[in-house]
Each structure stands twice: as C-alpha cells, then as structure tokens.
Amino acid sequence: MARIKQLEAHIANMIAAGEVVERPSGVVKELIENAIDAQSTKIKISIEEGGIQRIRVEDNGIGMDKEDVVNCFKRHATSKIFKEADLWSIHSLGFRGEALPSIASVSKVSLISHNGEKGHRIMIQYGIQKAIESYPANQGTDITVEGLFYQTPARLKHMRSAAYETSLVLSVIHKFALAYPEISFTFISDDKVSFQTTGSGNLKEVIFLVYGRSVAENLVPFEFRDQDFYVRGYGVKPLITRSARNHIHLFFNGRMVRQYRLDQAVQHGYEDFIVKGRYPIVVLSMELDPHLIDVNVHPSKWEIRLSKLANLEALIENGIRKALMGDRLAPEIETGVSRQEVYYTQTQMDLKTPIQENKVEWNSQPTAQESFTFPKQEEPIYEERKTTLPQMQVIGQLHDKFILCAYEEGLAILDQHAAQERVHFEEYVQKLNQNPSMQDLLVPMMLHSDRTVVERVQEVNEALKDLHITLEPFGENSFVLRTIPIWLKELEMEPFLQDVLDGFKNDQEIKYTRLERKHIATLACHHSIRFNRSLTVEEMKEVVRQLYTCENPYHCPHGRPTIIFLKEKELVKEFYR
C-alpha cells in the first residue's frame, strides 16, 4: 500500500503560509502591497493586540468584481503574470498569488471590494469559504484578518508581546511610507492613531514623521545614475548617527528589500565621516530595468538577485562619499566664510582664556562662531601623569585625523577622536559615582519615538537611572526631558538619548548591566573631536595632556587604539639606512 499521499489543499495551504506569513507584520506587508498594486492613494491600517487579534487594511484602489473576489483566494491565481516571460519583467509588488490564500488558511478573513460598479463580500474561515454575497461599499477594498494562527498553536506560541508585534508592524508601515510618499498612510493601533502621512509626495515630510525634526533638518540629498541605475533619496549628515544599521532603507522599483552588499556600500560611503560602530540614516530609491532584478527568490520577497550588483555598489558608495564631501566643503551659507577662511580664523583664536570642565561642543563642520577655547599651556605640557606614556612633543596633524608627536624613540600617532573619547569616558565614569546636582532645562528637550516605546517608559527610565535622567511621556509618540545633572548641561544629549530609545524599539530584552557602560561610551563618543577636524597646535597639546591623566590611555572605550608608535630604528630600516 502506498505510503506517499498528496496533502489536502487546506493542509498544503497552512504549510505554505508558514513560509509567506511569519507574523502579523508579514500579513500587513502583503496586504499593503496588494493595495499599492491596486493603484490606491489612501491606505488605512488598523490592528488590535499587535495584529494577533485583528488586522484591517482599507484602500481606495480599483477594487474587484465578484469573480476576482473569489479567485484571489485561490492559490497561484494572479492578475500580474500570465506567461513565463512575465517573470523576468515584473512591475508589481505581488505576482505569485500566494499571499491571500496563505493568510486565509491560518485566520478568519472578511474581504469587501467595490470596483466602481458593484460591491461584494467574501468570508473565509481557516481556508474554508463561508459566504460570498453582494455588499454595499465604497470604491476600493477592505480586508479584515482575525484570529491569526489560532488553529496553529505551534506558530502562535512563538509570537511575542503585543507591543513588540506592534513595533514590527509600524516598522513595515514606515518603510512603505518612505518608499511611497505620494500615498497617504494611516496606522491605528488599539483605536489610537500612531502614524499618519499626507500623501503629498514630499519625502522630507515623511522622514520628519518617521525620524523627527533633528533628522529632517540635517538631510543631504543624494542623486546619481549610470546607464543602468538611477538612485535618489536622502541621507542624514554625519553629525547624527544611530547605533544599529537597520536605518538604511533601500527600495528597488518601489519594492523594499534587504541587500547586505548594498547596505555595506552605504556604510562605506559614510566611513570617512562617522566612526566605526555608528550607522547612518539613509533612504534610497533605485529605478532600474525589471530585467536586471529577480524578485522570485524568497517566499516573503524580502531578498532579491540583482544583475550588475558590483556596478550599483560602486555607484552608491562613490555617490554618497562625493555628496557628503560636497556638503562638508561647501561655504557657510549664513556667513559666506569658506572652509579655508574658517580654519584660518581658528588659528587666530585667543588662547589665553581658560575653560572649565572642557565644556566643548564638537560638530562635524565647525564655523568660526562655533570654535572653542583652550588654556594657554607652558612647556612642558605633561605634568599630570598617571601612566607610562612616554614624554612627547606635538609636531603636527595628519589629514585632519591624527596628531603627530615626536618621542625619544621615534614617532607617536594619536587618533584625535579615540584619544578624547577615552578622556571623556573616564571623566564621565568618575562623575557617575558622585551624587550630582540637578538643573532644570530652560527649554525642555523633545525626543521622537514610537507609542510602543512610550508605553515602556518605566523600563526606559530604569535603564537611565544611573545617569540620573528621567523621561516623561509627551503625547503618544514622544518623550520630554526637563531636568539633567549639571555636569551634562553643556553636552548634546539628544543623539545619545535617541540611541537609547532606538535600543528599546529594536530589542525588547535589554540587559541593563550592558547598558550602563554602553551609554557612557556612547556619550563619550558623541562629544569627542571628530575626524576631518583641523586643530591648532595648542588644541593638539591639550588633547595629549588630557590623555596623560587617563588610567588606560591606550584604548578608547570601544577597544580601538588611541595611539600607535613608530620607532626610529624601524623607520631607519625602511629607508635602508
């Protein structure tokens, strides 16, 4: 007797659903893609309990007639492709006819659609059609998914908290909004509007809604092309970075994808401007011939194969680097001062007035007004010494990145950023051990986040308690900071705190023991001299002097070296002496 038998259709559909629909965010992604393919200009997404209880997607697209309402739930029934050649020229987001049958096999689905002539409703429960009837409706399609995975408990038990699942859904909607600024998106979670765009077509406006004002006001436009690719979008200036790489958004002909090599190309374009371990915020839309892209690679369509990938990598990396270099070298519009004039002005600063606590605000492109003051030092400059660093004499700066010093045995090269990062790190650790005096901010600081993070305010404040910082919820998507320790008042706190909030957004299980050191190291990094910053001799001397006071002057808190030594005898050997 034969043991191999063909599975019943509803069982096969449930197995296939595990590939196509992994969690509520996957359902939302598939339904939004259908709405976009239906030429919708308004899409409304509503969920309950993270989408596990209920998902509803409404659009104003072209709608379907009765026959299509029935056929759209049949596996491999599609209006997007008809012959083999169509697979190599796909212009739509959906094309395989798998999403709706897969969703319907693991949930209760109600679909209402009106094509401009007549409306119909179909009801399906876990793969079994229950009803098909005429139904009054507005133009477009309205689909509701309830009881997701209730009949597949093995899948249901792997769902995480409602707050976490909601954050994944919101992340998907953010990506669609960034890819389609001309479409109005509304997201409602548990009867509260969490996110909404106007559909004006203004990408900057969407970036503002997703990332907040500070990011939107510091964008660099990107636009570059070759014979195969046209790339455009925005990247944030290097003075604003994130601790995770998932803020690089890439879209191919409107399709959101994950492409590791192109993520790397973006990071390489930024590598001369931000330190290792920090990541930019970038939104890039790429237009290309559909024949160059194979989207039929992954069940959820997150991955692609791309012809001429190396060409696109080079185009992105070089294009971003040139755009950032052009922005960095551009004259100061407000003052009309050129880069050369700014650097000359810095060398004319009054070096006699001492500063206290090194209250310095470091920016990636300083102006004369933003320049800082260092105390005038008399030789020798290395009186406070806790370490075995050799006595050194500053002789210059290399490529606005490294401080060159002569010492008894040869040449010492300091990484100007890493050196001051170590200084700040040890300074902040000492101050954390003290009971700080607090000061009210004249203007409370606003921080943009998600409603899911705002709801976890107690966890956020638990992570920040060692810094004596308390955030208060402000509306549904923001926090407000009103009071900080006095020793922090001169520092730019927003990028650091934004990193903390991003950590909660991307990682539900945060280890507080890891956070303390990470936070201090991040704080030290944010407020240290950047690469590509020209320094005067006196400023370089001050960096070296401060490094002498450190317990561990040889490495920054992230483990990178602050200083390397080239001995004279090795240099002599290189010159065959």
Tell how far CA 277 is from the center of its chain: 13
Residue 438, both tokens: 């607090």
Contact 280, 238 (CB under 8 A): yes
Phi then psi for residue 238, to 5 deg, are -60, -15
pLDDT in tens, 395-422: 999 999 999 999 988 999 999 999 999 8
Order across the sheet with 471-473: list the strands: 438-448, 478-485, 471-473
Question: Which residue shows structure tokens 């997703």?
Answer: 210
Average pLDDT of the residues in 334-343:
32
The Cα 273–Cα 201 span in angstroms is: 30
pLDDT of residue 336: 33
User: What count of other Cβ atoms lies within 10 Å of the Cβ of residue 359?
Assistant: 13
Residue 341 above 70 pLDDT?
A: no
3-state secondary structure of 420: helix
With 0-12 CB in 10 A as exposed, 13-18 as middle and 19+ as buried, what is 345?
A: middle
Output DSSP code: residue 39. T
Residue 290 above 90 pLDDT?
A: no
Residue 26, both tokens: 């996957």
Residue 374 above 50 pLDDT?
A: no
Read off the amino acid at residue 130.
Answer: K
> 264: Cβ–Cβ under 8 A, 6 or more apart, which residues?
313
pLDDT in tens, 319-332: 998 898 776 433 23
pLDDT of residue 190: 94
End-to-end CA distance of the chain: 88
Which of 93, 57, 100 lies closest to 186, judged by CA?
57
Q: Measured at the alpha carbon of residue 506, what is the angle toward residues 501 and 507, in degrees to the nearest 5?
A: 95
Domain locations in the chain as residue ranges? 9-196, 203-326, 389-576
Question: Which residue shows structure tokens 């160059």?
Answer: 292
Per the prediction, the chain carries an average pLDDT of 79
3-state secondary structure of 202: coil
Question: Residue 41 to residues 62, 99, 110, 184, 201: CA-CA distances in angstroms?
Answer: 10, 21, 22, 6, 11
The Cα 367–Cα 332 span in angstroms is: 8
Contact 208, 467 (CB under 8 A): no
So what's the architecture of 389-576 in CATH?
2-Layer Sandwich (3.30)
Which of 430, 427, 431, 405 lies closest to 416, judged by CA?
405
> Is the domain defined by 9-196 classed in CATH 3.30.565.10?
yes
Average pLDDT of the residues in 452-472:
80
Which of 124, 140, 133 lies closest to 75, judged by CA?
124
The Cα 566–Cα 564 span in angstroms is: 7
Higher pLDDT, 462 or 110: 110
Q: Give 242-280 as a DSSP string.
A: BSSSTTEEEEETTEE---HHHHHHHHHHHTTTS-TT-B-
Contact 515, 466 (CB under 8 A): no
Residue 205, both tokens: 């406006």
Q: Domain 203-326 is in which class? A: alpha beta
Residue 431 above 50 pLDDT?
A: yes
CA torsion, ordered 527, 532, 536, 537, to nearest 10 deg: 90
Looking only at the bridges linking them, the beta strands covering 293-294 and 282-288 are unpaired
pTM of the model: 0.63
The Cα 562–Cα 420 span in angstroms is: 9
The Cα 254–Cα 251 span in angstroms is: 5
Question: Residue 454 to residues 199, 241, 494, 501, 505: CA-CA distances in angstroms?
Answer: 26, 21, 16, 9, 10
Lowest mean pLDDT among 33-37, 166-170, 451-455, 563-567: 451-455
User: What count of other Cβ atoms lies within 10 Å of the Cβ of residue 12?
Assistant: 15
User: What count of other Cβ atoms lies within 10 Å of the Cβ of residue 305?
Assistant: 13
pLDDT in tens, 140-169: 999 999 999 888 887 888 888 999 999 999
Contact 427, 433 (CB under 8 A): no
Higher pLDDT, 304 or 20: 304
Higher pLDDT, 272 or 464: 464
pLDDT of residue 169: 96
Contact 296, 92 (CB under 8 A): no
Encode 275-300: b = buried (16+ Cβ within 10 Å), e = exposed. beebbbbbbbbbebebebbebeeebe
